[in-house]
Amino acid sequence: MSIALQRCINPGCAAEYDVLQTLPKCPKCGNLLDVDYDWDRMRLPDRADRLGRLAAWPSGGPGSVSGVWRFGDLLPFAPADKRVSIGEGRTQLRPSPRTASYVGVGSDCLRLQYEGLNPSGSFKDNGMAGAFTHANLVGARVAACASTGNTSASLAAFASASGLMRAIIFIGDGKIAYGKLSQALDYGAATLLVKGDFDDAMARVQEVCAEEGIYLVNSVNPFRLEGQKTTMYRVLEGLDWRLPDWIVCPGGNLGNSSAFGKALYELYDHGLIAKLPRLAVVNSAGAPTLSRLVNQKGLKWNGGRVDDAVISSYYAGLDARGEKARTLASAIEINRPVNLKKCLRALERANGVVLEATDQEILDAKAWIARDGLGCEPASAASVAGAKILVERGVIDKDSLVIAILTGHQLKDPHATVAYHSYAEDKLRADYGEFGVASSRFANRPMPVANSLGDIIDAIRGIS
Ligand code: F0G
């Protein structure tokens, strides 16, 4: 009997499947699947601070460079020789005193988990190590995803680096930042620009994969989320296994928040941590499905009895009004998050909250993050923008220990950053007014100067 299995998340169904099956959903009831383990048979220490070190690999093995497989004992669904790695997860928990002052907490109370350091520049590499390993386990030869750009960059990088699979990616035409598109093209992924947005591309890729027997690596794939759990282990390791009060992350397709919740309550349920940090998921105000469903419609996990009628009537309303997600934080421009129910479960377990940040708040927060020497893309800054709002509302205390996740690297999507810092406000309004961006009060303005020694020296002397 394998130590791992797949199980339907709907407690009323709870059907179980072998890990060697490739199932995008529960064949019996259509809900998402989890990966679960026979925890009694797992090789776990009795203290959390020994995690990660236990899994020391012989030098040269993928665990020696992988911040995912270093914690392989907490996701033991594949034998060691099937694990795939491109050196993902070597990321850092960084102090951020300036951003902390902006957020309104003590200077040592905010840490930023910088997932932009992953090989393809975003947190997606954590999960892709999991999904690729499962694809390798089941002998897949072609893998596909829909993407706002980071999942596709990661899939393309894993496919070309490992040589194990061909990658096919589905992008909403015009809905991807150039940095991300350049990665997919350069790594040689077959790139389909689907007329539509991410939600359309996501619907099509699921149909195509079912029809053509192609391996789907979007985060409906539960093995993706196993890899993404490791971000939490690295956060706790970065704190010397002190527990934070809050984890704050952006919400798009809701894979990260679901995986973070699972990582934490598994540690808690198996006695490795003493309390569960609270979870805050931040939607862009231009893609607010989770926030609207939770805060306005009262949708809850409710012990697994999610009210499906509330979700379908919300989506029917979007269709009737022709309402599409629209935000400068293009990575989270998603209105139909596939992991909605898993995220609701994580929120219930972790006493979580959901909120919206405007694109203006996101860009302002991003400028402060950069003052701490960390460059992130707009979607990532939603976490810091959200933390600030929660402090203002008195939900997060000023002396709480808060971890905000920076999901992707600055160079992924530099367009809005350059506009924020360099455009005059009337041009900013003209170009970005539709996203509600009207000012750039934290801009670091470039200085045009004549090609003359005197002018350049005058400009430099004018710097305060
Ligand atoms: N931040 C970045 C930089 C992302 O690329 C994404 C998702 C998110 C946050 C949201 O994370 O989906 O786990 O809630 N990007 C996906 C993609 C959708 O296709 O790259 P989530």
Map tokens 């195509």 to a residue.
208
Nearest Cα residue to atom 10 of ligand 1: 252
- The domains of the chain are located at 92-120+223-416
Give the model confidence (pLDDT) of 375-407 as tens digits: 999 999 999 999 999 999 999 999 999 999 999
Percent of the chain with pLDDT over 90: 93
pLDDT of 360 higher than 80:
yes
The pLDDT confidence band at residue 55, using thresholds 50, 70 and 90, is very low
Q: Is the CB of 196 under 6 A from ligand 1?
A: no
CATH 3.40.640.10, applies to 92-120+223-416? no
pLDDT of residue 53: 64
pLDDT of residue 63: 66
Quick one: angle between helices 150-162 and 178-186, nearest 10? 20
Give the model confidence (pLDDT) of 257-309 as tens digits: 999 999 999 999 999 999 999 999 999 999 999 999 999 999 999 999 999 99
Q: Is the CB of 379 under 6 A from ligand 1?
A: yes
pTM exceeds 0.85 = yes
Mutate to test the pocket of ligand 1, among 407, 411, 412 (most ligand atoms within 8 A of CB): 407
The pLDDT confidence band at residue 54, using thresholds 50, 70 and 90, is very low
Residue 127 structure tokens: 């999960």
Return the SS3 of 3. coil
Strand 166-172 versus strand 190-194 pairing type: parallel
Q: Is the CB of 91 under 6 A from ligand 1?
A: no
pLDDT of 251 higher than 50:
yes
Q: Is the CB of 150 under 6 A from ligand 1?
A: yes
Nearest Cα residue to atom 7 of ligand 1: 331
Say if CB 401 and CB 246 are below 8 A apart: yes
State which ligand 1 atom lies nearest to the alpha carbon of 122. Answer: 3
The pLDDT confidence band at residue 56, using thresholds 50, 70 and 90, is very low
Residue 282 DSSP symbol: E
Give the model confidence (pLDDT) of 141-152 as tens digits: 999 999 999 999
